Amino acid sequence: MLTSKCMKGVTQGYPLGIQAREVKVTESEFNIDFVSRVIPKLDYDTLWTAADGLGYSTDLPKTLVENYESNEDFLKKIHHVLLEIEVLEGDLICPETGRKFPITSGIPNMLLNEDEVKY
Amino acid sequence: MSSGKRPEHLAPPEIFYNDTEARKYTSNSRMIDIQVQMTERAVELLCLPDDQPSLLLDLGCGSGLSGSVLEENGHVWVGMDISQAMLDVAVEREVEGDLLLSDLGQGVPFRAGMFDGAVSVSALQWLCNCDQKSHNPVKRLSKFFTLLYTSLSRCARAVFQFYPESPHQVELVTTQATKAGFYGGLIIDYPNSTKAKKYFLVLMTGQNMALPKALGTENQDDSTVKYGNSRMTYKQMRGKPLKKSRDWIIEKKERRKRQGKEVRENSKFTGRRRCGKF
């Protein structure tokens, strides 16, 4: 979901690579409506790669399942990957410049230095 | 914020909202109440469909007070703030939304079309300030609005509650928002009260729709003073004076005097009939 588009010389800045040092899995309420509404907005391949990088891709199919609105099992998996896995410590890496955005206690730091801002 | 001075004048946001200031947002019930009320009103102005949960962006989320309101309304949110201390408080409060440490003036770093709406409570006025030598409020605002526009989906709304310092600031903000492609405008709740007066900037992507009505303006039809029509009706009721009557003559003389023509002074003989001796 995040991009580094604000940075100088970065045109797309997506997807950001994830380097996790500490991952926490939390429980959260499953909302079928929300998950099925959010899927069209996601780039599924990116999500899969991200989940794969964290080691949670085992039960996730590699391509988007057809008729996912009615497939509750699949939606539950997506929900788990999207909302319940939290990277506590790690880095987000810009694919174009290699700039690292550190994540501390679950909050990515996207602050840029003055010279990195593109106006 | 209870002190008379505006916090924007004291220090930049990442320094002003330090640990002590952040602590106030969890302990001070008055501050919490105000924040919650304003967020509720902002959500109302967002006009989201009731039954489905939406993904919202909270700009300047702070300690997540506004986020809690969004949670109560059944939405999923992502918060952005520049103050580490405020975000730490948010983590402590165990809010459900995802948090992001980022400067609004550097843009909104999200993929295009991700969010169904955006709310912001008391954050926009910070962007009008120049805290560093490299800061240019116009450029920062324009950057912010352009990137916000792309990260919102079509037919989404963004509601900003803010405290503009001057009419000039309002103009600055609205101009930049319109330039970025937003429709919408300013709604002022309770415009006649000093304390309850709240500014909401309602921005829309997609098509232009009528703005919702501001609160506290129900009793008055217009923001201007009502024009009393009594004098007009009196004149209309009287109508034009009867031709050749004394009133008619006096009015005519008055008119010609206004036109700068030579007119005899009125006297007791003005418009009086001559006696029949002639």
Q: Which domains does chain A have, with CATH numbers?
A: 17-116 (2.20.25.10)
Q: Range with the lowest mean pLDDT among A7-11, B157-161, B262-266?
A: A7-11
Residue A56 has pLDDT above 70, yes or no: no
A45 to chain B, closest Cα gap in Å? 15
| In contact, B173 and B164? CB cutoff 8 Å | yes
Q: Which of A2-11, B38-47, B216-225 has the highest mean pLDDT?
A: B38-47
Question: Does A41 contact B136 at a Cβ distance shorter than 8 Å?
Answer: no
**R_g over Cα of chain A:** 16
Residue A14 has pLDDT above 60, yes or no: no
Instruction: Report pLDDT for A9.
Output: 40
Q: Residue A8: which pLDDT band, with cuts at 50, 70 and 90?
A: very low
Residue A61 has pLDDT above 80, yes or no: no
Instruction: Report pLDDT for A117.
Output: 67
**Residues of chain B with C-beta less than 8 angstroms from the C-beta of A114:** 132, 134
**Residues of chain A with C-beta less than 8 angstroms from the C-beta of B98:** 106
Average pLDDT over residues A6-28: 57
- B157-199 pLDDT, tens digit each: 899 998 888 888 899 889 989 988 888 888 888 877 777 788 8
Rounded to the nearest 10 degrees, the angle between the axes of helix B84-92 and helix B19-27 is 40
Instruction: Report pLDDT for A20.
Output: 61
Instruction: Report pLDDT for B222.
Output: 52
Q: Which of B56, B111, B132 to mutate to test the interface with A (most CBs of A within 10 A)?
A: B111
Q: Which domains does chain B have, with CATH numbers?
A: 7-204 (3.40.50.150), 242-278 (no CATH)
Instruction: Report pLDDT for B253.
Output: 92
Instruction: Report pLDDT for B70.
Output: 86
Site of tokens 């002022």: B188
Q: What is the mean pLDDT of chain B?
A: 82
Instruction: Report pLDDT for A1.
Output: 45
Tell me which of B66 and A105 has the higher pLDDT. B66
In three-state secondary structure terms, B142 is helix
Helix (H) or strand (E) holding A43, with range, is: none
